Structure 1
Amino acid sequence: MRNIVIGLVIGLVIGVVLGVTILTPKIKTHAASKAVLSERDLEKGSSVTPAVLASLQQGDAIHWRSAPPFPSDRPNVAIQAREFAKQLQILSGEKMILPVLPAKDVIASDRLFAAVALGRIDALFATADIAVDKEPALSLFSAIPFGPKPEETLAWLQAGNGVKRLREILSAHNLHPLVCGFLPAESSGWFVKEFNSSEDIQNLRIRISGLGAKVWAKAGAVVSPITPEEVMGAFDQDKLDGAVFSSPEMDAKSDYRRFAQNYYYPGWQNQGQPLLLLINAKTWKKLDQERKSLLKTSCDQHTALSHAKAAQKQIDGLGELAKQDVKLQKLPAYILEPLKDAWNDVLAEEARRNQTFRETWEDLNSFLKTRQTWQEMSELGKERDEY
């Protein structure tokens, strides 16, 4: 009897081992995709491009080479990137791993862009302005002054020609972009003094980036190109009169209030912008259809959720700012109107300077006009108050 029991136990053990090692399909990590980008890698030059998922087999777990999100000095970009990476890992049953590394050092945007374009890394979370110096039209997929509402931007991207045009622009750089999140509207910024007249714009020293920086400069301000990390020192040394950082949720966690307690809204220079997952084109092509669909669906879901949650997070942020004795103020018309005039001038200049920018703007503007017809027919105006 004892020998029978021992035999059964041995047989059970052997069966489990065989089932795990032979009968059950193995999920293995693709060895060539384990490495992540480091600053040292960028110093090596770009003459040698590693084979990207060259021997990918059905069922292999993909651990993509990645880098800190761009811009690494914008915390809400990193937060959304981490949230998506965690969601993707769970939904894929850990068959797709996208590491999001902490930004210990700020790596220049052109170096990151080149790294993913050349295949030195597989993917990168970024805002479209990562390569605006190479493709000016990308600014129209980023923060647009006096731009469309978030739902209008998303509609153009997904129901209009937005994503199609984005892919056409980035395909020339060996990239396949996915809209993979949405960043909320910013504030107008932090200012040392209150605005009292339109003359306050002249020679105002302000830190801001993107098209908004060109608008402030056109209106007569002096734009400082410093990074957010340098803003506190500039305020302390009386080298700045104002600075734009982020949305209320993120602004409430900053220390800008120590030097600039006038917090103005709305964020005319940034009404919200998409977050992109930039994928090396060769990497994308080597994925099977299941993984492509998984990535696209996961990004769509994350975009919808991030947009839906944004408003409440900003309300909470405003509450925190109020507790910090920050003066919440609406930017007066005598400031907004000159800025709007300056934006029209900047827009005309950019359109004349670059054909792709002009065609992209015309497409977006045409879409918004067509959409406006339905909005006027379907939305409640004063009638809403009657119910």
Structure 2
Amino acid sequence: MSALFPTYAKWDVKATKGQGALLTDDQGKEYLDFIAGIAVCNLGHCHPKVNEALKNQVDRLWHVSNLFQLEGQEQVAKQLVEHSVGDYVFFCNSGAEANEAAIKLARKATGKHKMVSLTNSFHGRTLGSMSATGQDKVHQGFGPLLSEFTYAPLNDVEKLQAVITEETAAVFIEVIQGEGGVRLMSQDYADSLSLICKEKNVLLVIDEIQTGIGRTGKRFAYEHYNLSPDIITLAKGLGNGFPVGAMIGKAHLKSYFEAGSHGSTFGGNPLAMAAAGAVINEVFEDDFLLSVVNKGETFIQQLQTSLKDNTLVKEIRGLGLMIGIECHSEVAPFITACREKGLLILPAGPKVIRILPPLIVTNDQLRQATEIITEVMSEQLVTNGL
């Protein structure tokens, strides 16, 4: 009998070992892990350089609090600032915490309390980040949320304009909705978003928690759309599995997060900074990012070719190695069948398969995954009598 709260619908898989894109369970069965901790282990399991950085730090210093000068914080903050449109960084422990920091900063800096986020978005499960999340299923049972959030559909400029008022502090957005179905922002919408925010003097907050740190083939996904957010939130891939989050803000916001305005006991601790620094050193290299672009394009093309005649498939979409397969029926049986054949993938809503392989995945492993998905989808056609 488990002593855990049943907050997760756990699979009957006990993971005991990971290496690269492979995961092994307690029975010795090996899986292609195309979940990567839900876009966390971007460098795969037990990446040698991340492991080495953590091992070195473990024997030096774990924690002293943010009352002290910490070299690791300065180094990682400098890396994030050099590679983004931001100027200052606040460190925390998770994506939800990063989004909470962004909500607080946007409200304080503008003196306004209303915010706009998108239908089907996901920003976390704390009270503030849950309020920012545009999904009723996440809200249910928790009573009144922050009333300041209003939701608009992705890629609908007219509805976005309609919900922004003089009281709006910020637009809170994912350029690719991950939990919401791997749905991509259009370039026209991105262009309009920038103009609207400037004209109405509204901050642009981009949640890069799932899309950032190389996942889409850029350091940050907003780069694909020529956007310049005032605030960027990060987590997941930043620590390759070690808990770490970050909020990056532009220089005009600096004075609003003065001493005592916000904090995090463990945020930016030496272990987290060691992991994040090692990750950034690997992922932010141009050749590495180009490899993600090439592998993503190859993988999507393989899937489209292999599944083009499968009538269960509605659309295959994605960017880099963040890929969704939208189907005409619920995908839970497909995901279970793939797991039984040794491939781990996720849902993104009831009818979308979400595929998030480690960025170090090999072309051979991508081919293996394509074969398993194609086989499972073909079998499901027979099962469904189609």
In the superposition, the TM-score normalised over structure 2's length comes to: 0.26
Question: Is the strand fraction higher in 1 or 2?
Answer: 2
Higher relative contact order (CA 8 A, sep 6+): 2
| Higher Rg of the two aligned structures | 1
Question: Is the helix fraction higher in 1 or 2?
Answer: 1
In the superposition, the TM-score normalised over structure 1's length comes to: 0.26
